[in-house]
Amino acid sequence: MTEISMPLRPGPAPLRWWQQGWRLLVVVLFAALSWIIAKQSLPDDVSGMLVTWLCVADPIIGVAMLALLGFRRRWPVAVAAITTAASAVSTTASGPSLLALCSVATRRRSREIVPIAVGGVISGMAMTVLYPDLNVDNGLPGAFWYTVAFLALAISAVVAIGVAVGSRREVIWSLQQRTEIAERAQVARAAEARILERHRIAREMHDVLAHRISLVAMQAGVLTYRPDLDSEQVGAIAKTIADNSRQALEELRDVLGVLRADELHTSDPEPPQPSLAALPTLVADARDSGLAVTLTDRTVGDPPVTSARTAYRIVQEGLTNVGKHAPGARVWIGVEGTAGEGLAVTVRDSGGDDATRPAPLSGYGLLGLTERAELVGGTLAFGPRPFGGFQLRATLPWPVAVED
């Protein structure tokens, strides 16, 4: 059996325009707010060089860092390191640096997150040196440690958000992969069920074909070794050979294309397969097991062996399903047809005693019946009835016999 393994996790899926848009909008708003706070915090006697830096160089660096965010998914650590370093001298670079840190945190690798987070705290402290009035609780004892704690708390919150986003992506990806693996496994099991059903059909057909061909060979041998037979006897033997040959060809046509394991001559011969004549016995066994079964047989004549055998298997599977899924239900079996019109088989039940019981789902038994019906040239339909219960209905071929 082929082993189905979990594929390697791909990179993050590309963001749509609106997903990218709202992230950049938040970054721009945060950067603008940081710049406004820095501008409002400047004292009146500040040097002109610092004002020029804040009004000219600071926004230029921020725009450059904002453009650099477009590469954060390709080179997340490098982009985060550059934006974090830039945030030490630019208030507007603080927004891009936080988004870049969040992107690194989604990877959930501590060896990448910790250095960038520590660098963020250091950059924040450097900013308070450039703009002293940005210190938290400036002028109070321990203002330095208040600022460090505030920056550490803010960066920790950003890292926590990134880790949570990364965990959610991992869970979604894992669920998607499990779903795909389950679907592939289901397809493989269905294909295996079809192959096994074909093998079983081929084993059933083997004995019938071997019997027909043996009769033909025996009758032909009589013609070869009995030259003393009169014309009437020769004609009777020839008709027997023709009938058996025609039936063998019809049965052989039904199994063409059926894959068969190489075990025909290594296993014990299987017993003759049942047909419509064995339906009363099958129904009697079902009644003995507790099912209330009504059988109506309106067939006229003897249907082909393959169709009769398939009809028997359909009734057998239908009764099995009722016993499993609808205990206590009443079952009606109808078989009707004639040569030239086809053979119709219906198995329907009234539903189980529990009104809340769902109708039986299509399992491998119904899958095998569908394969069996199609191989003989028929069709099988099944499903819940409108007023409760379940129904199987098959239409099987019954051609008109050709007279010589």
pLDDT tens across 14-41, in order?
677 777 778 888 888 888 888 888 777 7
Please check the confidence at residue 126 and state whether its pLDDT lies above 60.
yes
Q: Report the SS3 class of residue 296.
A: strand
Report the C-alpha gap between 236 and 242 in whole angstroms.
10
Q: What is the mean pLDDT of residues 244-257?
A: 68
Give pLDDT, residue 177. Answer: 85
Work out the pLDDT band at 13, boundaries 50, 70, 90. low
The yes/no answer on whether domain 276-396 falls in CATH 3.30.565.10 is: yes
Q: What is the mean pLDDT of residues 171-185?
A: 86
Mean pLDDT of the chain: 78
Report the C-alpha gap between 329 and 389 in whole angstroms.
8
Q: Report the SS3 class of residue 385.
A: coil
* Locus of tokens 């009722």: 322
Lowest mean pLDDT among 199-203, 238-242, 388-392: 199-203
Report the C-alpha gap between 303 and 309 in whole angstroms.
10
Strands (E), 227-353: 292-300, 330-338, 342-349
Give pLDDT, residue 120. Answer: 87
Cβ 310 vs Cβ 376: under 8 Å: yes
Which residues in 391-400 are b (16+ Cβ under 10 Å) and which e?
Answer: bbbbbbbbee
Cβ 97 vs Cβ 87: under 8 Å: yes
Residue % of the chain over a pLDDT of 70: 76
pTM of the model: 0.45
Give pLDDT, residue 179. Answer: 86
Please list the residue range(s) of the chain that carry CATH number 3.30.565.10: 276-396
Please check the confidence at residue 394 and state whether its pLDDT lies above 90.
yes
